């Protein structure tokens, strides 16, 4: 049984549905350690003051927010604790929206929502109503001292909760100068690009067709390195200069 990362209730109106959240992510990928190039031993980070150069212990460190350049407002542990949202065991539903109306740029992290003991009937009623109405529930809840806005939608045999970015956390694509000048595209370039897209098209995405080969190849390379047989060749790609010729060669 998967370990729940949060447990509580979905609350809307006077209805409380006991649920638990489980991360959709399985086993983590390989992680690298930073080592000393000479000793091949893990390195440690020291807390060094950028002004006096002194190495600090944790009891000499405070938290602050930059209010002007190189000017900080320092918060005490008591102040930080008072500002943190109070933990609750409720996902409070704020509103319902069309399920497809939330811009995917706001999507942050996914969790499966599973029914907890005693909530099975209300859970499946909630799921079926969301599905039949093609609605998503916008909710607010606290997990690990952070307040989240989330989207709950019907997903296959259950419910999916997606935490959302707040507006102020994001940069929007309209901000970038690089996208403001649009080059002219010839009819022939468009025709060949469409041919290539049609050649590579499928009706739907089947993720089982793909696998992360990195760990598999890494293990092979580690074995070769131990045996002294590993030769790494750098792969270089260059920008396409003749777009039409490249498209013709692709189709």
Q: Greater confidence, 187 or 220?
A: 187
Task: Please give the torsion angle defined by the CA atoms of residues 47, 49, 55 and 59, in that order, rounded to the nearest 10 degrees.
Answer: -70
Q: Greater confidence, 152 or 145?
A: 152
Flag whether pLDDT at 225 surpasses 70.
no
pLDDT at position 230: 55
Integer CA distances (angstroms), 8 to 4, 15, 17, in order:
11, 13, 8
E strand intervals along the chain: 6-12, 15-23, 47-48, 55-56, 63-68, 71-75, 90-98, 107-115, 135-143, 146-155, 158-164
pLDDT at position 213: 77
Model confidence pLDDT, tens digit, residues 49-83: 998 999 999 899 999 988 888 889 888 888 777 77
User: Rounded to two decimals, what is the model's pTM?
Assistant: 0.76
Confidence of residue 29 (pLDDT cuts 50, 70, 90): low
CA angle, 156 then 158 then 164, to 5°? 95
Flag whether pLDDT at 229 surpasses 70.
no
Flag whether pLDDT at 46 surpasses 60.
yes
Residue 51 phi, psi (nearest 5):
-95, -55
pLDDT at position 103: 97
pLDDT at position 177: 94
First to last CA, the chain: 48
Confidence of residue 231 (pLDDT cuts 50, 70, 90): low
Flag whether pLDDT at 222 surpasses 90.
no
Flag whether pLDDT at 242 surpasses 80.
no
Question: How far apart are alpha carbons 244 and 225 in whole angstroms?
Answer: 42
pLDDT at position 244: 72
Domain 6-24+85-167 has CATH 2.40.290.10: yes
pLDDT at position 23: 94
Question: How far apart are alpha carbons 191 and 193 in whole angstroms?
Answer: 6
Model confidence pLDDT, tens digit, residues 82-121: 777 776 899 999 999 999 999 999 999 999 999 999 999 9
Looking only at the bridges linking them, the beta strands covering 6-12 and 15-23 are antiparallel
Confidence of residue 228 (pLDDT cuts 50, 70, 90): low
Model confidence pLDDT, tens digit, residues 195-205: 999 999 999 99
pLDDT at position 15: 92
Domain ranges of the chain: 6-24+85-167, 183-201+212-250
Cβ-count burial of 168 within 10 angstroms (0-12 exposed, 13-18 middle, 19+ buried)? exposed
């Amino acid at each position: 049984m998967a370990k729940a990362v949060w447990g509580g209730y979905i609350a809307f109106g006077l209805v409380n549905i006991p649920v638990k959240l489980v991360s959709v992510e399985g086993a983590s990928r390989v992680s690298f350690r930073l080592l000393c190039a000479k000793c091949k031993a893990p390195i440690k980070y020291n807390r060094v003051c950028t002004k006096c150069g002194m190495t600090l212990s944790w009891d000499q460190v405070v938290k602050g927010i930059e209010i002007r350049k190189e000017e900080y407002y320092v918060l005490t542990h008591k102040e930080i604790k008072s500002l943190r949202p109070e933990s609750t065991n409720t996902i409070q539903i704020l509103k319902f929206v069309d399920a497809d109306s939330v811009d995917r740029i706001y999507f942050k992290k996914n969790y499966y929502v599973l029914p907890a003991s005693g909530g099975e009937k209300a859970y499946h009623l909630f799921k079926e109503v969301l599905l039949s109405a093609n609605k998503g529930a916008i909710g607010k809840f606290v997990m690990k001292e952070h307040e989240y806005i989330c989207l709950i939608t019907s997903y296959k045999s259950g419910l999916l909760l997606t935490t959302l970015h707040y507006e102020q956390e994001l940069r929007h694509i309209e901000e970038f100068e690089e996208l403001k000048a649009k080059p002219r595209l010839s009819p022939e370039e468009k025709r060949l690009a469409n041919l290539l897209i049609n050649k590579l098209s499928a009706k739907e995405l089947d993720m089982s067709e793909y696998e992360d080969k990195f760990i598999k190849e890494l293990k092979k390379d580690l074995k070769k390195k131990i045996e002294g047989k590993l030769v790494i060749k750098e792969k270089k790609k260059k920008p396409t200069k003749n777009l039409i010729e490249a498209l013709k060669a692709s189709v």
